[in-house]
Structure 1
Amino acid sequence: MRRRTPRSEHRTAAHRARDRRWYLGALFADAIGNGLWTPSALIFFTRAQGMSLGATGAALTLGGVIGLLSIPLSGTLIDRWGALPLIQLSNLLRGAVFLAYPLISSVWQLTALAAVLSACERLFWTANTPALERVVGKGDLLPLLGTQNMLRTVGWMAGAGLAALVSGALLQHPDRLHLIAWLNGATFLTAALLTSGVRLPDRTTDPSDPRQTFATAEPAWRSILTNRPFVTLCLTQLAFALMADSLAVMLPLVALDVLHGPPWLPAAALIASSVSLLLVQRPSLRYYARQGSPLRPLRLACVVFSVAFMLLAPAHRLTSALAVPLVLTAAVAGACANALFAPVMTLLANETAPEQRKGHYSAIFQLAWGTAAVLAPAVGTFLLTAGNTVLWLTLGGLSGATAALTSLIPPWQQRRHVHMAKQAQPCRIVIAGISGAGKTSLAAALSRRLGIRHIEMDALYYGPHWSRSAEFTNDVAQVTASEAWVCDAQYHWIVGDLLAARTHLFVWLDLPRHTVMHRVIRRSFSRVLFRRRLWHGNTETWHTLLFSPRHPVRWAWTQYGTRRAETAAYFARHPEVPVVRLRTASQARRWLRSMLPTNPRPEGTDGQPTSS
């Protein structure tokens, strides 16, 4: 007999939501700190600390390179101690560095602190994706990556605005510019405090996953460097990041020196880019969800980058009157391309990594980001010395090569799902969702595809004249004792944990409310108009459609949020059963196609208990 779940475990879903809020709050504080410091750094060191511009630039560059070299060590530490503790350590150390900046008086001190700061930045970003996955689970990682992009953009803009206000007020009193460093240190200490409230579940590994076996059989770095698909993924990421960083670095320079635009144009381009990212991030994720494959979004990002580069290639031949629309259009195109490629590439890298080597894989992936950030200014300025056209045509060629390179990236999500199906095809499946979501249709299609029995739960629950069966629980126990089946509802408020104890897989049809209402209204009107007979001769009538509070149409509308929360809590009480969450009809169709067909083997009449 399966034991009852303790009441304390019922709050797992609430805990996950709370951890998500705390973690996103820490990311927002971190973003404010970055936005506060980036436009103020050179002003702070040259005005408040009295250092020369050349010495400051050299020290910050050298510190950044030293920090870049620390990335492999970050991966090792994450796999040994976990992602979240190292994120907390990173925030604490960054806060300490900014509090110490007002105390420095020499270039070597600045170089040392800049190296520590850079290493902590790399440590944070290496640990970030593994930590995000642990906070929300693999199924919700991509939407959270998009939310992270948007949140960091808003935080960066808020920090930059605060920096402008503070710097403008304090420029007449250089010694008071120390306030900028102290404020920045406070944002990172706040982020460390917020992440201390996050409680992550213990890491688990799947022994049947061949990536786990390979990871434990080979030394960590050797297993990564011999993983050709992942190396290809990292090279693709390097190309994407180099295009994005080169555009961000060189666009202000071209706007002023080549196009001779107004002085405010670089700032306007930055604002246009940030706002565009906020507007297009979620639509770009929905586009990826509809495609089901990373190739089209990534290639579309290459096309958008190419449009921006080709617009800027003849810029030196254009009049200054075209500077504003040209630069703003290129900035918006760069933001749209970033929204398309950044979350998807991060998700692919995370999906590639075995659980025991998340840190090592994330470190190599972040090395691609960091290398692009170091190379972009040098490559961009070198190409610009050869001419504006040379710069942008070279980057356009890089976008074409990147598009070709994406074809070498395996669609890891689809391949993983197919591999899991080959290893252990689930043969006891429960489909959950609100009335009208399409549970019965999906169950029937899955039954035909897998050749397993379809248990129609409403046929067991309702008797003639819509009476409710007193033997429902016993009937469910009898029909689900067989070897293979798919049932189209969980009825957990009646049968308790019976189905959870027997199923191999939960499938949650978590469709949008408007999709559910369209389906349930169309279904009910069809049943009423054509007097379709359901289980045991039952039919829907106009009276029940218009006046019954438990009619599926009214029930789907009023209980949508309640049932959704109950379903999430029910699944959280049974973490041992995997859950496939399908948020759109297209996702449901793709998942159905991913299930491998088997030979039919009927086991009795659908929805009716068999004799034992």
Structure 2
Amino acid sequence: MNRRTPWHSTVLNRIPGGRDGRRMLIVSIIDKTGTGLWAGCTVLYFTYVSGLGLGQVGLLMTISGGVGIAGAPLAGRLADRFPLVRIIVGAQLMRAAALLALLSTDNFLLLTLYSALGALPDRAGSVLIKLYAARLAGPDRVRYQAIQRTTVNIGWSIGGLGAAAALATGSTSAYGVLLIGNVLTYFVIAVLTLRCDEPPAPARVAATSATSGDRGPAKPTNPWRDRTFLGYTATEAALFLDDTILQVAIPLWIVHATSAPVGLAPLLLVLNTVLVVAFQVPLARFGATTHAARRLLVPLAGLFVVGTLALAASAAGERPLAISALVIAVIALSFAEIIHATASWELSVALAPAEAQGAYLGVHGLAHSTQRFAGPLLITGVMSVGAIAWPLLGLGLVAAGAAQHRLIRDRITKPSLSVAPVTVSEH
């Protein structure tokens, strides 16, 4: 008698990377669930539990954010020299220790020190997971990253709901509970990560190819001396601004410049999350090759134009127009986020030589870290100018995309050494 394969088994078997790929996805969802518990109340913890003033909280967040920028390149360098799984576990445990240390003091300097130490492995995490995906999933790395990003958004949502329920009690002890909850998730994912096998380093693949006579084109091995890659990373920092626009600018813009109700802000963030969860994996196939990923920069520019024009229009009319324009803006910018993420995953790996993949992706991680640090200041400056600044910002983002499209044209015509060559048996 024939038995039908359960639907969930079919879905799991389609995840690149096999057992370890599935296990790392579980790690990601638990990780972001814990982060979602804590992220929404971090500032409130420092205010109501630690007793810091507004200026102290702002300075603490600025310093820790600045220190955290170094986490990505540092992690990338380490990943080229030591087993990747052990580095991921070390980062998870370091995050747990730094967060747990916050419970031990109300001293501003110590809280700043612990927050800065926690920011280093926190910013390193995305680079390390990206490296793991590139090494484990090989040619299917874009699809794997899309699935991973979907699980991240689900985790954030679960954690956010848990935080909202805890804070609804009105008790200050809830902040400590959420902090400890996040710490516990770090210990859980450290145990799960230790059960994952070490993926083959691409440098070994390159060495094998060289031994067989297939050396391929020479590439720089130091990202700090690779002008093309540094230019690419600089344009990436600009294209990642969709994150700050969605998370920071739109809620503030609703309050200060439009007639839309304040309650629309969280609903728009939910809309963004739903769109990412629904479309990240299906749209990943349009960036599955390096040339396809480069072509995505064209529709990305169009989405930035639509999104910024809609934001400008939202300040020009009554409530119905404002709401409609804001919804259009969020939809356009959400798809810009999805498309840019897809292109970025493929291009950043394709531009990296195998023997320095970690170092290159670490430098690329600076783009997102820098945007998270400087983006809010830039965007609030744009908002202070008024509605006319949004189309100008859109043109700036189009220029960044065009510069990236031109910059990498000659580089991607050469075969990448970042992953093993695809053979018929791998399809």
TM category, shorter: 0.7 to 0.9
Matches of 2:97 and 2:335 in 1, distance apart?
A: 36
Q: 1:35 Cα shift?
A: 1.5
Q: Is the 8 A contact 2:69 2:370 kept in 1?
A: yes
Q: Is the 8 A contact 1:36 1:159 kept in 2?
A: yes
Q: Is the 8 A contact 2:146 2:280 kept in 1?
A: yes
Counterpart of 1:236 in structure 2 is 235
- 1:28–1:411 CA distance, 2 compared to 1 (3 A): farther
Matches of 1:37 and 1:282 in 2, distance apart?
A: 27
- 1:205–1:49 CA distance, 2 compared to 1 (3 A): same
Q: 1:407 Cα shift?
A: 2.7
- 1:214–1:329 CA distance, 2 compared to 1 (3 A): closer
Work out whether 1:40 is the aligned partner of 2:14. Answer: no
Counterpart of 1:190 in structure 2 is 188
Work out whether 1:284 is the aligned partner of 2:201. Answer: no
Matches of 1:378 and 1:15 in 2, distance apart?
A: 39
- 1:263–1:316 CA distance, 2 compared to 1 (3 A): closer
Matches of 2:83 and 2:301 in 1, distance apart?
A: 35
Work out whether 1:148 is the aligned partner of 2:148. Answer: yes
Counterpart of 2:197 in structure 1 is 199
Q: 1:187 Cα shift?
A: 1.4
Q: Is the 8 A contact 1:146 1:282 kept in 2?
A: yes
RMSD of aligned alpha carbons: 2.6
- 1:39–1:135 CA distance, 2 compared to 1 (3 A): same
Q: 1:201 Cα shift?
A: 3.7
Matches of 1:287 and 1:343 in 2, distance apart?
A: 8
- 1:506–1:211 CA distance, 2 compared to 1 (3 A): closer
Listed one character per residue, the Cα deviations across residues 310-366 of structure 1 (whole Å, up to 9, x for unaligned) are: 111133221123232222221121111111111321221112222221121011100
Q: Is the 8 A contact 1:308 1:330 kept in 2?
A: yes
Q: Is the 8 A contact 1:301 1:341 kept in 2?
A: yes
Q: Is the 8 A contact 1:313 1:393 kept in 2?
A: yes
Q: Secondary structure at the match of 2:415?
A: helix
- 1:43–1:201 CA distance, 2 compared to 1 (3 A): closer
Matches of 1:14 and 1:141 in 2, distance apart?
A: 10
Counterpart of 2:6 in structure 1 is none
Q: Secondary structure at the match of 2:295?
A: helix
Listed one character per residue, the Cα deviations across residues 218-262 of structure 1 (whole Å, up to 9, x for unaligned) are: xx5xx3233233223212211211243234320111112111322
Q: Which amino acid aligns with 1:507?
A: V
Q: 1:36 Cα shift?
A: 1.5
Q: 1:269 Cα shift?
A: 0.6
Q: TM-score, normalised by structure 2?
A: 0.87
Listed one character per residue, the Cα deviations across residues 126-149 of structure 1 (whole Å, up to 9, x for unaligned) are: 22211112222x211110011111
Work out whether 1:402 is the aligned partner of 2:403. Answer: no
Q: 1:210 Cα shift?
A: 5.4
- 1:164–1:411 CA distance, 2 compared to 1 (3 A): farther
From the CA coordinates, give the structure whose radius of gyration is larger: 1
Q: Secondary structure at the match of 1:316?
A: coil
Q: Secondary structure at the match of 1:275?
A: helix
- 1:124–1:14 CA distance, 2 compared to 1 (3 A): closer
Q: Which amino acid aligns with 1:309?
A: T
Matches of 2:260 and 2:298 in 1, distance apart?
A: 32
Counterpart of 2:21 in structure 1 is 20
Counterpart of 1:495 in structure 2 is none
Work out whether 1:329 is the aligned partner of 2:328. Answer: yes
- Superposition map of 1:64-79 within 5 A: 64-79=65-80
Q: 1:399 Cα shift?
A: 2.2
Counterpart of 2:424 in structure 1 is 507
Q: Which moved more, 1:243-252 or 1:182-191?
A: 243-252
Counterpart of 1:379 in structure 2 is 378
Q: Is the 8 A contact 2:241 2:375 kept in 1?
A: yes
Counterpart of 2:391 in structure 1 is 393
Counterpart of 1:168 in structure 2 is 168
- 1:412–1:285 CA distance, 2 compared to 1 (3 A): farther
Q: Which amino acid aligns with 2:119?
A: S
Counterpart of 1:590 in structure 2 is none
Q: Is the 8 A contact 1:134 1:200 kept in 2?
A: no
- 1:291–1:231 CA distance, 2 compared to 1 (3 A): closer
Q: 1:413 Cα shift?
A: 6.1
Counterpart of 2:9 in structure 1 is none
- 1:247–1:306 CA distance, 2 compared to 1 (3 A): farther
Q: 1:15 Cα shift?
A: 11
Higher normalized contact order (CA 8 Å, seq sep 6+, divided by chain length)? 2
Structure 1: stretches of 5+ with no match in the other structure? 1-12, 421-503, 509-578, 582-612
Dislocated runs of 4+, deviation >4 Å: 13-16, 209-215, 289-292, 411-414
Counterpart of 1:315 in structure 2 is 314
Q: Is the 8 A contact 1:294 1:411 kept in 2?
A: no
Q: Is the 8 A contact 1:249 1:377 kept in 2?
A: yes
Q: Which amino acid aligns with 1:403?
A: G
Q: Is the 8 A contact 1:74 1:363 kept in 2?
A: yes
Identity of aligned residues (%): 24
Matches of 1:15 and 1:296 in 2, distance apart?
A: 24
Kindly indicate which of the two structures has a greater share of residues assigned to helix: 2
Q: Secondary structure at the match of 1:416?
A: coil
- 1:205–1:283 CA distance, 2 compared to 1 (3 A): closer
Matches of 2:74 and 2:242 in 1, distance apart?
A: 27
Structure 2: stretches of 5+ with no match in the other structure? 1-13
Q: TM-score, normalised by structure 1?
A: 0.62
Counterpart of 2:135 in structure 1 is 134
Q: 1:289 Cα shift?
A: 4.4
Counterpart of 1:179 in structure 2 is 177
Q: Secondary structure at the match of 2:259?
A: coil
Listed one character per residue, the Cα deviations across residues 199-227 of structure 1 (whole Å, up to 9, x for unaligned) are: 02443132436579655xxxx5xx32332
Matches of 1:389 and 1:189 in 2, distance apart?
A: 48
Matches of 1:385 and 1:290 in 2, distance apart?
A: 40
